[in-house]
């Protein structure tokens, strides 16, 4: 899957959906650093892509970068609310709560 998506990207098909697919594929493959690169590119194409915000946060969680994840979730929640994307908003609120708990436990 990653190879096919990377080939599309190399052929010049760079768009939010392709970058999201690459980010998700890398995240599923336990490569959060590569996933982050593609989710950020996805959001450069479409800052309102709620699912990209959610999985970008998850990528930082996999790296144990709790503050970055919390910041991303907060931004994603704002975007989801503005779009009326209730499901993404609810999920990111739960993830944000977990990040904040982790941050408070590390103090």
For the stretch 21-73, pLDDT in tens is 999 999 999 999 999 999 999 999 999 999 999 999 999 999 999 999 999 99
Find all residues with CB under 8 Å of 60, minimum gap 6, and list them: 32, 36, 66, 68, 69, 72
Global confidence as pTM: 0.95
Q: Domain total for the chain?
A: 1
User: Would you say 36 and 59 are in contact if contact means Cβ atoms under 8 Å apart?
Assistant: yes
Residue-range definition of the domain harbouring residue 33: 2-105
- The C-alpha atoms of residue 42 and residue 18 are separated, in whole angstroms, by 8
Euclidean distance between the first and the last CA atom of the chain, given in angstroms as a whole number:
40
Structural tokens at position 39: 């989710």
Q: How confident is the model at residue 106 (pLDDT cuts 50, 70, 90)?
A: confident
Q: For the residues 10-31, what does the mean pLDDT come to?
A: 97
Q: For the residues 2-15, what does the mean pLDDT come to?
A: 96
């Amino acid at each position: 899957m990653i190879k096919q998506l990377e080939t599309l990207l190399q052929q010049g098909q760079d768009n939010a959906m392709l970058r999201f697919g690459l980010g998700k594929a890398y995240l599923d493959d336990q490569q959060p650093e590569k996933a982050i690169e593609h989710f950020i590119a996805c959001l450069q194409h479409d800052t309102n892509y709620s699912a990209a915000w959610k999985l970008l946060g998850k990528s930082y969680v996999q790296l144990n970068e709790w503050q970055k994840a919390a910041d991303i979730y907060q931004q994603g929640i704002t975007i989801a609310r503005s779009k009326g994307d209730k499901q993404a908003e609810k999920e990111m609120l739960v993830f944000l709560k977990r990040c904040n708990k982790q941050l408070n436990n590390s103090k």
